[in-house]
Amino acid sequence: MSTEPHPKFFPREQRTTIVYGILCTVLILVILQLWLLEATMNAYLGGDYAAAWPAAVVSILCLLLNIGLLRYIYSIERVNP
Amino acid sequence: MQHDPEQISTPPDGRPMSEQPAWRQDFPIDTPQDNYVARRDFTKFLVVTSGAFVAGQLYVVAKSQIARDASALAPQRIASIADLPVGGALTFNYPEPHDTCILLRPDENTLLAYSQKCTHLSCAVVPDMKRNCLNCPCHEGVFDMATGHPLAGPPRRPLPLVHVERRGDELWATGVEVRTV
**What is the H or E stretch that residue B170 is in?**
strand B170-177
- What one-character-per-residue DSSP string does A9-76 give? ---HHHHHHHHHHHHHHHHHHHHHHHHHHHHHHHHHHTT--TTHHHHHHHHHHHHHHHHHHHHHHHHH
Give A-chain residues touching B64 at CB under 8 angstroms: 44, 49, 52-53
In this prediction the ipTM stands at 0.88
pLDDT in tens, B18-63: 788 888 888 888 888 899 999 999 999 999 999 999 999 999 999 9
Q: Following CA atoms B22, B36, B50, A35 in sequence, which dihedral angle do they give, to the nearest 10 degrees?
A: 160
Separation of alpha carbons A51 and A43, rounded Å:
7
Ranges assigned E (strand) in B2-138: 76-80, 88-93, 100-107, 110-115, 126-128, 133-136
Model confidence at A21: pLDDT above 70: yes
pLDDT digits (tens, 9 = 90+) for A39-64: 999 888 877 888 899 999 999 999 99
pTM of the model: 0.66
Q: Do B60 and A37 touch (CB under 8 A)?
A: yes
- pLDDT tens string B56-70: 999 999 999 888 776
Nearest by CB: B54 against A23, A60, A69:
A60
Confidence grade of residue B1 (pLDDT, cut at 50, 70, 90): very low
Rg (CA), chain A: 19
Nearest chain A CA: its distance from B149 CA (Å): 12
Contacts of B119 in chain A (CB under 8 A): 45
Most confident option among A56-70, B63-77, B81-95: A56-70
C-alpha distance from A76 to closest chain B C-alpha (Å)? 12
Q: Smallest Cβ distance to A37: which of B35, B36, B53?
A: B53
B82 pLDDT exceeds 70?
Answer: yes
Q: Phi/psi zone of residue B74: left (φ > 0), alpha (ψ -120 to 50 degrees), beta?
A: beta
